[in-house]
C-alpha cells in the first residue's frame, strides 16, 4: 500500500491569455486534479512579494489545494499564452522568476518523506536552485512512491543532460507525441515508431509506466506486460492548456486507489477531455471522478 500524499513540485505561475489570467504551472495543475479524488495533494513552489503572488495563494486556498510555497526576492512567474484555432497553446515564459528559486526547507523534507506520488518536469529544473530542490526531494520520497517525470519541453528550457538525469530518477514518464520525436532526435534513437521509442525508454530506463498523449489522436499507456490505448473523446475544445496535467493527476490518483492501468487510463482520458472544454486549467471535475 503506497502513502497517499500527492505532490507537484516546480513552476507555479499565472497563465496570461489575451482576455484573462488563470493560475497554472504543470505541477500545480497535476496536484489540483489529484486532489479532486480526495487525496491530500500539495504544490511545492515559490512566489514573489507582489500582488500576483498574493492573488495566486488566494486562488489555491479557494480551490482547497494544499501548498508549501515560499516567498522569495523574485517576481511571481507569468507566461503569455496564445491559442490557435484548435485551442492549442503557444507559450512565452518569463525567466529568473520566483519558481526558479524554490528553496529546500525542513518542511519540504518532511513532505518528501511522506508522499505517495510526486510529479516534476524539466521547466523548473532550468535553474540550479530549483533543480537541486527537486533532486533532493526525489531522493527522499519512499521507494514505493510514484515518481512521475512529466517531461513538458518548453522553448529552450531543457537539455539532454537534464532529461537523462530525470529519467534515471523517475519510475513513470509522461510524454506527448511531439516530445517523443524530440527525444528520438536528442538521444539518437533512430527512426522507430512512437510506440517503439516509448517501449525503448521504458526498458532502457527501467521504468514502470510510460504514458504518451497524442492530442486528438488518442493516448497510450505502456507497462512491462501491458499496453493500453484509448481514442480521444470528441468534445468542443476551448483550450488544451493543462489537459496533460489533468490526465496525469487523474491517472495517478486512480492507481493509488487501486485501479488497474486500464481503468486509470480510461478515467484520465475522460477528465482531460472535460478540461479541454473549459477556460481554466483547474475546473471542478468531481462529477466525472464519481461517474467514470
pLDDT per residue rounded down to tens, the chain (292 residues): 345 689 999 999 998 888 788 888 999 999 999 999 999 999 999 999 999 999 999 999 999 999 999 999 999 999 887 877 766 777 788 889 999 999 999 999 999 999 999 999 999 999 999 999 999 999 999 999 999 999 988 878 899 999 999 999 999 999 999 999 999 999 998 888 999 999 999 999 999 999 999 999 999 999 999 999 999 999 988 888 888 999 999 999 999 999 999 999 999 999 999 999 998 888 877 555 544 4
Which residues span the domain enclosing 132? 5-291
Q: Where are the alpha helices (DSSP H) in the chain?
A: 26-35, 51-62, 106-113, 128-140, 160-169, 177-186, 194-204, 243-256, 261-275, 286-291
Number of structural domains in the chain = 1
> Cα(35)–Cα(29) distance, rounded to whole angstroms?
10
Q: How far is CA 64 from CA 18, 33, 188, 226, in A?
A: 27, 11, 44, 36
Q: What DSSP string runs through 215-240?
A: GGG-EEEEETTEEEEEPPP----S--
Output DSSP code: residue 138: H
pLDDT, tens digit, 9 for 90 and up, residues 70-86: 999 999 999 887 877 76
CATH code of the domain covering residue 167: 3.40.1190.20
pTM for the model stands at 0.91
Cβ atoms 273, 58 nearer than 8 A = no
Q: What percent of the residues of the chain are helix, what percent strand, and what percent coil, each to the nearest 5? A: 40, 25, 35
Amino acid at each position: 500500500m503506497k502513502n497517499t500524499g500527492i505532490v507537484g513540485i516546480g513552476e507555479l505561475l499565472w497563465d496570461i491569455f489575451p482576455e484573462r489570467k488563470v493560475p497554472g504551472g504543470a505541477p500545480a495543475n497535476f496536484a489540483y486534479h489529484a486532489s479532486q479524488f480526495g487525496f491530500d495533494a500539495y504544490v511545492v513552489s515559490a512566489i514573489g512579494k507582489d500582488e500576483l503572488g498574493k492573488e495566486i495563494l488566494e486562488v489555491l486556498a479557494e480551490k482547497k489545494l494544499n501548498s508549501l510555497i515560499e516567498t522569495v526576492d523574485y517576481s511571481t512567474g507569468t507566461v503569455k499564452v496564445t491559442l490557435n484555432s484548435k485551442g492549442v497553446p503557444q507559450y512565452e515564459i518569463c525567466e529568473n522568476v520566483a519558481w526558479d528559486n524554490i528553496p529546500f526547507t525542513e518542511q519540504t523534507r518532511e513532505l518528501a518523506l511522506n508522499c505517495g506520488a510526486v510529479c516534476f518536469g524539466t521547466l523548473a529544473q532550468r535553474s540550479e536552485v530549483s533543480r537541486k530542490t527537486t533532486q533532493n526531494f526525489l531522493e527522499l520520497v519512499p521507494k514505493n512512491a510514484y515518481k512521475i517525470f512529466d517531461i513538458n519541453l518548453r522553448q529552450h528550457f531543457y537539455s539532454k543532460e537534464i532529461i537523462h538525469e530525470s529519467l534515471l530518477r523517475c519510475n513513470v514518464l509522461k510524454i506527448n507525441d511531439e516530445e517523443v520525436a524530440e527525444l528520438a532526435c536528442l538521444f539518437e534513437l533512430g527512426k522507430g515508431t512512437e510506440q517503439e521509442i516509448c517501449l525503448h525508454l521504458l526498458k532502457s530506463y527501467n521504468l514502470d509506466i510510460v504514458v504518451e498523449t497524442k492530442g486528438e489522436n488518442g493516448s497510450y499507456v505502456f507497462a512491462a506486460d501491458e499496453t493500453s490505448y484509448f481514442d480521444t473523446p470528441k468534445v468542443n475544445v476551448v483550450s488544451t492548456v493543462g489537459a496533460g496535467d489533468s490526465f496525469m493527476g487523474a491517472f495517478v490518483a486512480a492507481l493509488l486507489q487501486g485501479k488497474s492501468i486500464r481503468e486509470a487510463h480510461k478515467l484520465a482520458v475522460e477528465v482531460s477531455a472535460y478540461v479541454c472544454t473549459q477556460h481554466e486549467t483547474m475546473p471542478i471535475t468531481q462529477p466525472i471522478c464519481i461517474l467514470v
